[in-house]
Amino acid sequence: MVDWEVTKGEYGWTQEFRVTNAQGGAFDLTGQTVTLTVLKLGVTKFTGNCALNADPKTGKCYYVPVNTDFDTSGKYTWRLDLDTDTGHRSTRIKSLRVK
């Protein structure tokens, strides 16, 4: 099962992510910088800054891919990195297929 599937070469749309806490509720992103990290065999293919929802307490953030993000077909993994002045955390790693 693939968590996220993208067509090779597509870009410019807005991808929504929802960060959740251990109980499945929204994780409050207030004060967080959120970065999408996509990896191929553990090596970073690209990173990109995510925009927060107008209400960061919803846990929602958004990423708009650029033309080089999904330029190669294959299997990848991805995560969201959350940073504040006081620390760093990451979401669990999920699968991505570029077809």
Q: What is the CATH number of the domain that holds 68?
A: 2.60.40.10
CA–CA distance, 77 with 97 (Å, rounded to integer): 8
pLDDT(79) > 90 = yes
Q: Extract the tokens encoding 64.
A: 């708009």
Mean pLDDT of 77-98: 96
Q: How many domains does the structure of the chain reveal? A: 1
Q: Which domain holds residue 19?
A: 4-93
Q: What is the pLDDT of residues 17-36, one digit of tens each?
A: 999 999 999 999 999 999 99
Q: β-pairing, 15-18 with 4-6?
A: unpaired
pTM to 2 decimals?
0.94
Identify whether 98 is part of a domain. Answer: no
CA–CA distance, 94 with 80 (Å, rounded to integer): 10
